[in-house]
């Protein structure tokens, strides 16, 4: 991808490149793009990539001077009139030149910025009224998260009718550009995707460029921990309340233009996990266990979320549950016990007593029956069933539950999904399971769905290497790097493969 | 005392301080200026990467921290010989029946070292500075690492890597961030001062990182005499290496059965050795009949401070292999033999003694007895060469509370089918002490000795069945592996049938071996119980339990 980008990186000059614009809006530049029948053939140093014509919106060649080369009769006529295409319109060449120069300059700046910000020491600090942001993201990407946090804060304080104490101070929000830097700089372990440290007022998460939606889920989830902490800075919410509510708000949607938030949406990944558990009666979590637990694994999040969803979506409980939520931290007559590090919390039996008292329910079994009924009747998968299973697979893979992740991804595929994200996700897990044949098959399918999916090319290379085809594997890894020279993971994979190949050679093949 | 003289002689050759405040290492070939009053920490002789460690004279307290945090600043010198890069890969050595598999994956450079040994960093970190410069004609890379997240308190690590033709030396200074400014100049002086000197030895070449698996020195094939010789030789080899690596200020002190390598107060070391001898004498007297095998001399490391102990244990190589371990003891402030250091020492010496005296027995003891004996020996207090078992007040109170709350397990249940998760260390310890003292009468007279004798018999019987089963499982796994070698792994897209991650062949084999081991252990527990306590009636058990309750309360 983006030969121009490379050229800019190296020499800061604009070199001629062919441009391809996909229907999904992505724009790529390469040395050579040739139209062959209905399709487009991209020629790279390590091979050719065929992009189906059906996925392409437009494509242009460029001259040595950087001008475009018309391909169709209509384009030739427009070019003869001194017009050039820009953002779906035909504009004068002089204006086009200025726009291209400005665009290239902007992109050069972005690329340099991205390169520099790979290292945390070059992170950017942005102060707002309520937060201190530290990040290594490209500026436009960061702007969205900054707005999101500000909107979330406004929404949260209005929703709970609270005004955090000015003594609470500013929270530092650290946003990392990838998982590796999150783990090293943030010190987080394997299955952690984000965390909030109440004592230090410090929130950390990373942006997954392959799954923006999940990144936002994580941001809302951890953001909810941070905002809940603002209700009472000395209070630590019991596990199911804290995580269940964080998951509930984690599934929010927001409109970047209006800054509005929509809550109470279905956490599709969690729902798929929950439904899987729920169908087997022996695996159903007892409410008595949930409300008194001190902590549970990945599956527990789904149960906690569904219970909060049930209470906040059921008119007879909604208001009282909100009172319960605030009351845990603030009300009188609540038996709070030290939790360590200066925090107070409420322990299992007291949580249960308060829940029943606030909800005006006599016994936990009645509440459990209603909750189960709600899961069965109201919480349902959306029409896009494949996306739900895919998200469930993604969530499970992050938590290291690989067998479940494979199962969910495969269900999405069996239901007809040809989403490259799903196909790639499944292929990746099959390779980890030491099944390179199947990994190769689905990585190829991912490429059939998205010819320019660099990581799917990378995975094909890795699978071939695992099958012993070192030369072809290395070629595809290098091809993947050409397609996306900015993807760190591909660089790592290539370095590892080169190291492996070197060892094989040293050992005489 | 001859050994001490040799030890000191070697020290003079290889670790002689050239002038005040300068540390010279003629093995690695460098010298460095050490801040005034800093101590040189001892390291295991098997350490192959960290050339030196120095510990600051004062313990510093963090001003920022989620709880009380205090640490001594440290300076390390880490060597990266270039030749080691050629030593990658797995290496299997079979020398005199000792099979060792080493995975050699040397650190590529200092950054790789930090990434792979991130335990010493202590939290989320990033390189805040990375600059190149030149000092005295050689290239130097200057790093600063900030440790800020998920850490007890922020730290700063300042490292200068001095690049030479054959080796890179990283001089690394670690300190609590709160105190960095006051130490910056001191560190700078040390960081700049590293220089080369002539080596008197070849650079350390063993480039083992990661796990080292000692598959075994098959003593079972040796005669008792050969075993005795092998153990003596191993002890002498280890001691020689460790004495060679002792830094300045360390000394060697001996007793009949132990050698102490120490930098603690000499009186404390003498008392530690005296305590060890008293424990050994008790063990010989009480458990001398469990086997005829030779128990070699033991090495005790006696540290003046906890930091030095941590520095010793925190290296890139620290093996806890059978027979190769050293017992670590630290002199605590106002050290008395009632502190937990001596409790730990007694427990470790007991484990060492049992494993040498009768390895099979020590490996197959039922949980209640193994843990109970450990706890019992923790209570050993020594005076004039004699041991008196005396639980401390905390343990006594804990046991009383357990009894009061009705959580104590009836003794019959404990001996017959006790599972580790059902028993507290307080109860098993108390029961063992009871059987070896007040309970040593009537129908339970010499019960421990009889139980041990029966255990030895039963273990021998069960071991035969277990070895047979183990051979069968291993043969099965070998055949499966051979069949696997010929073709590709069977690949499947059927995900629905699999609820959890399926175990690999190695895991399956491991599970089968675990199951066989469990069968053996259950049989040992049941049979040893039957042979030792089988004649006791229900009434006897009630009486015995009541006697123990009285003893423990």
The lowest-confidence range among A379-383, A496-500, B485-489, B514-518 is: B485-489
pLDDT at A505 over 50: yes
**pTM assigned to the model:** 0.72
pLDDT number for residue B336: 47
B209–chain A nearest CA distance, Å? 18
Interface A–B counts its CB contacts (< 8 A) at 69
Q: How many CA atoms lie within 13 A of B324 on its CB side?
A: 15
The pLDDT of A385-392, averaged and rounded, is 65
Helix-strand-coil split of chain B, %, nearest 5? 45, 20, 30
- Closest CB from B125, B489, B498 relative to A434: B489
- Beta-strand relationship, A18-22 and A56-62: antiparallel
pLDDT number for residue A486: 67
d(CA B499, CA A396): 13
Q: What is the number of helices (H) and of strands (E) in chain A?
A: 20, 18
pLDDT number for residue A12: 27
pLDDT at A127 over 60: yes
**CB proximity A410 to B under 8 Å:** yes
d(CA A28, CA A50): 14
The pLDDT of A180-187, averaged and rounded, is 92
CB contact under 8 A, B124 and A406: no
Retrieve residue B325's tokens: 């371990």
d(CA A70, CA A474): 36
Q: What letter would DSSP give residue A191?
A: T
Mutation site for B-interface testing, chosen from A116, A117, A121 by largest number of B Cβ within 10 Å: A121
Polymer length in residues for chain B: 553
Nearest to B359 by CA among B490, B509, B220, B257: B220
SS3 at position A71 = coil
B124–chain A nearest CA distance, Å? 3
- Beta-strand relationship, B98-104 and A18-22: unpaired
The lowest-confidence range among A87-101, A103-117, B371-385 is: A103-117
B399–chain A nearest CA distance, Å? 26
A341–chain B nearest CA distance, Å? 7
d(CA B7, CA A472): 59
Residue A454 banded pLDDT, cuts 50, 70, 90: very high
CB contact under 8 A, B150 and A188: yes
* Lateral strand order in the sheet of B138-149: B39-40, B50-55, B74-81, B167-176, B155-163, B138-149, B124-135
The pLDDT of A377-404, averaged and rounded, is 71
Chain A residues with CB under 8 Å of B67 CB are: 341
Mutation site for B-interface testing, chosen from A433, A436, A495 by largest number of B Cβ within 10 Å: A433
The lowest-confidence range among A81-85, A354-358, A363-367, B221-225 is: B221-225
B50–chain A nearest CA distance, Å? 23
**CB proximity A402 to B under 8 Å:** yes
Mutation site for A-interface testing, chosen from B104, B122, B124 by largest number of A Cβ within 10 Å: B124
Q: Each residue of A390-402: pLDDT tens digit?
A: 777 887 777 677 8
ipTM of the complex: 0.71
Q: Is A241 exposed, middle or buried, given 0-12, 13-18 or 19+ CB atoms closer than 10 A?
A: buried
Distances (CA, A) of A428 to A208, A394, A409, A431, B503: 16, 11, 11, 5, 19
d(CA A126, CA A130): 11
SS3 at position B228 = helix
pLDDT number for residue B324: 43
B235–chain A nearest CA distance, Å? 37
Of A213 and B463, the one with more pLDDT: B463
Please give, one letter per residue, the 3-state secondary structure of B466-521: HHHHHHHHHHHHHHHHHHHHHCCCCCCCCCCCCCCCCCCHHHHHHHHHHHHHHHHH
The pLDDT of A165-189, averaged and rounded, is 91
Is residue A188 within 8 A of residue A195, CB to CB? The reply is: yes
Is residue A142 within 8 A of residue A124, CB to CB? The reply is: yes
Q: How many CA atoms lie within 13 A of A456 on its CB side?
A: 24
CB contact under 8 A, B150 and A187: yes
Chain A residues with CB under 8 Å of B495 CB are: 403, 406-407, 410-411
With CA atoms as reference, the chain B residue closest to A400 would be B501
Of all residues in chain A, the percent with pLDDT exceeding 90 is: 46
CB contact under 8 A, A200 and B501: no
Residues in CB range of B529: below 8 A, 6 or more apart: B415, B416
**Block mean pLDDT (10 aa), chain B, length 553:** 36 39 91 93 85 93 82 95 73 52 71 89 94 95 96 94 95 97 96 92 54 50 88 87 85 94 92 94 94 90 86 69 57 54 87 90 92 92 88 86 90 84 86 93 92 95 91 82 59 73 66 89 93 94 94 90
Whether the CA torsion A190, A195, A199, A201 is positive or negative: it is: positive
Crossing angle of helices A402-414 and A420-432, rounded to 10° = 140
Question: From its phi and psi, is residue A29 left (phi > 0), alpha (psi between -120 and 50) or beta?
Answer: beta
pLDDT at A8 over 50: no
pLDDT number for residue B212: 38
Nearest to A271 by CA among A252, A247, A288: A247
Residue A343 banded pLDDT, cuts 50, 70, 90: very high
pLDDT number for residue B339: 58
**CB proximity A108 to B under 8 Å:** no
**Mean pLDDT rounded to a whole number for chain A:** 85
- Beta-strand relationship, B258-262 and B298-303: parallel
Of A175 and B86, the one with more pLDDT: A175
- Closest CB from A121, A197, A199 relative to B127: A121
Q: What secondary structure does DSSP assign to B56-86, as a single string?
A: -SS-EE-SS-SS--EE--EEEEEEEEGGGGG
- Beta-strand relationship, B380-383 and B386-389: antiparallel
Mutation site for A-interface testing, chosen from B68, B115, B149, B501 by largest number of A Cβ within 10 Å: B149
d(CA B118, CA B234): 33
C-alpha B163: how far from chain center: 34
**CB proximity A342 to B under 8 Å:** no
pLDDT number for residue B7: 36
- Tell me the H-state helices in A251-335: 268-278, 287-292, 298-313, 315-330
Q: Each residue of B440-464: pLDDT tens digit?
A: 999 999 999 999 999 999 999 999 9
d(CA A482, CA A47): 10
d(CA B153, CA A284): 42
CB contact under 8 A, B66 and A402: no
């Amino acid at each position: 991808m983006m030969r121009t980008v490379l050229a800019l990186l190296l020499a800061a000059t604009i070199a001629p490149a062919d441009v391809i614009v996909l229907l999904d809006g992505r724009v790529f530049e390469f040395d050579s793009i040739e139209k062959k029948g209905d399709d487009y053939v991209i020629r790279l140093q390590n091979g050719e990539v065929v992009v189906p014509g059906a996925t392409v919106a437009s494509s242009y060649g460029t001259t040595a001077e950087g001008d475009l080369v018309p391909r169709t009769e209509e384009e030739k006529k427009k070019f003869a009139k001194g017009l050039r295409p820009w953002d779906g319109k035909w504009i004068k060449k002089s204006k086009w030149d200025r726009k291209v120069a400005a665009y290239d300059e902007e992109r050069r700046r972005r690329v340099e910025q991205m390169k520099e910000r790979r290292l945390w020491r070059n992170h950017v600090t942005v102060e707002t009224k309520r937060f201190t942001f530290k990040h290594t993201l490209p500026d436009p990407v960061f702007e969205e998260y900054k707005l999101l946090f500000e909107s979330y804060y406004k929404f949260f304080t209005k929703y709970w009718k609270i005004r955090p104490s000015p003594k609470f101070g500013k929270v530092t929000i650290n946003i990392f550009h990838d998982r590796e830097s999150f783990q090293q700089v943030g010190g987080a372990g394997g299955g952690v995707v984000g965390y909030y440290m109440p004592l230090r007022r410090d929130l950390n998460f990373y942006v997954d460029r392959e799954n923006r939606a999940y990144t936002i889920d994580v941001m809302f989830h951890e953001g909810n921990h941070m905002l809940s902490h603002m209700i009472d800075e000395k209070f630590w919410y019991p596990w199911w309340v804290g995580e269940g509510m964080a998951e509930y708000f984690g599934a929010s949607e927001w409109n970047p233009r209006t800054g509005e938030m929509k809550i109470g949406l279905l956490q599709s990944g969690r729902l798929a996990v929950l439904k899987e558990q729920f169908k087997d009666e022996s695996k159903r979590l007892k409410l008595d266990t949930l409300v008194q637990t001190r902590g549970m694994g990945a599956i527990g999040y789904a149960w906690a979320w569904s219970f909060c969803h049930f209470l906040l979506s059921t008119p007879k409980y909604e208001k009282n549950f909100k009172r319960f939520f605030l009351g845990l931290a603030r009300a009188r007559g609540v038996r709070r016990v030290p939790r360590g590090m200066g925090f107070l919390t409420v322990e299992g039996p007291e949580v249960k007593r308060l829940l029943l008292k606030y909800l005006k329910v006599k016994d936990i079994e009645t509440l459990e029956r209603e909750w189960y009924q709600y899961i069965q009747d109201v919480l349902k998968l959306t029409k896009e069933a494949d996306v739900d299973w895919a998200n469930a697979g993604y969530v499970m893979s992050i938590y290291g539950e690989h067998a479940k992740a494979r199962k969910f991804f495969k269900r999405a595929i069996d239901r007809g999904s040809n989403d490259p994200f799903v196909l790639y996700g499944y292929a990746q897990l099959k390779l980890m399971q030491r099944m390179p044949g199947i990994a190769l098959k689905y990585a190829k399918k991912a490429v059939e769905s998205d010819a320019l999916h660099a990581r799917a090319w990378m995975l094909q290379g890795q699978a071939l290497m695992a099958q012993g085809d070192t030369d072809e594997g290395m070629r595809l890894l290098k091809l993947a790097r050409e397609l996306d020279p900015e993807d760190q993971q591909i660089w790592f994979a290539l370095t590892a493969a080169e190291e492996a190949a070197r060892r094989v050679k040293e050992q005489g093949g | 005392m001859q050994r001490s003289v040799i030890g000191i002689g070697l020290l003079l050759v290889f670790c002689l301080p050239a002038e005040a405040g300068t540390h010279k290492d003629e093995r690695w070939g460098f010298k460095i200026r050490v801040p005034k009053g800093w101590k040189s920490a001892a390291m295991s002789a098997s350490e192959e990467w960290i050339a030196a460690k120095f510990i600051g004279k004062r313990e510093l307290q963090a001003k920022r921290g989620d709880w009380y945090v205090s640490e001594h600043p440290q300076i390390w010198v880490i060597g990266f010989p270039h030749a080691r890069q050629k030593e990658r890969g797995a290496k299997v050595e079979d020398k005199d029946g000792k099979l060792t598999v080493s995975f050699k994956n040397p650190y590529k450079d200092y950054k790789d070292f930090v990434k792979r040994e991130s335990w010493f960093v202590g939290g989320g970190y990033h390189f805040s500075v990375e600059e190149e410069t030149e000092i005295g004609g050689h290239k130097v890379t200057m790093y600063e690492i900030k440790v800020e997240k998920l850490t007890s308190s922020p730290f700063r690590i300042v490292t200068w890597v001095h690049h030479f033709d054959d080796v890179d030396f990283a001089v690394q200074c670690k300190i609590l961030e709160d105190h960095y400014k006051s130490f910056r100049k001191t560190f700078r002086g040390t960081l700049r001062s590293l220089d080369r000197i002539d080596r008197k030895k070849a650079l350390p070449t063993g480039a083992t990182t990661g796990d080292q698996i000692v598959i075994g020195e098959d003593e079972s094939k040796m005669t008792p005499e050969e075993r005795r010789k092998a153990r003596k030789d191993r002890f002498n080899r280890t001691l020689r290496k460790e004495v060679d690596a002792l830094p300045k200020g360390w000394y060697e002190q001996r007793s009949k059965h132990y050698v102490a390598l120490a930098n603690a107060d000499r009186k404390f070391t003498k008392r530690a050795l005296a305590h060890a001898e008293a424990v050994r004498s008790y063990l010989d007297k009480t458990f001398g009949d469990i086997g005829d095998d030779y128990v070699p001399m033991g090495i005790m490391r006696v540290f003046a401070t906890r930091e030095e102990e941590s520095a010793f244990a925190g290296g890139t190589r620290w093996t806890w292999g059978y027979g190769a371990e050293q017992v670590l003891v630290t002199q605590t402030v106002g050290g008395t033999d009632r502190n937990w250091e001596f409790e730990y020492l007694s427990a470790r010496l007991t484990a060492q003694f049992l494993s040498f005296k009768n390895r099979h027995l020590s490996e197959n003891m039922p949980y209640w007895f193994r843990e109970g004996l450990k706890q019992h020996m923790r209570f050993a207090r020594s005076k004039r060469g004699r041991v008196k078992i005396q639980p401390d007040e905390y343990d006594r109170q804990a046991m009383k509370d357990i009894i009061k709350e009705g959580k104590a397990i009836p003794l019959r249940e404990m001996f017959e089918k006790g599972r580790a998760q059902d028993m507290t260390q307080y109860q098993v310890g108390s029961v063992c002490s009871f059987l070896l003292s007040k309970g040593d009468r009537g129908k339970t007279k010499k019960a421990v000795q009889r139980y041990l004798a029966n255990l030895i018999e039963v273990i021998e019987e069960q071991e035969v069945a277990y070895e047979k089963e183990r051979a069968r499982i291993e043969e099965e796994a070998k055949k499966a592996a051979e069949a696997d070698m010929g073709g590709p792994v069977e690949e499947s897209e059927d995900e629905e049938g699999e609820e959890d991650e399926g175990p690999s062949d190695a895991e399956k084999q491991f599970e089968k071996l675990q199951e066989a081991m469990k069968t053996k252990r259950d049989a040992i527990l049941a049979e040893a119980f039957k042979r030792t306590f089988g004649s006791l009636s229900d009434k006897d058990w009630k009486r015995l339990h009541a006697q123990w309750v009285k003893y423990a309360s």
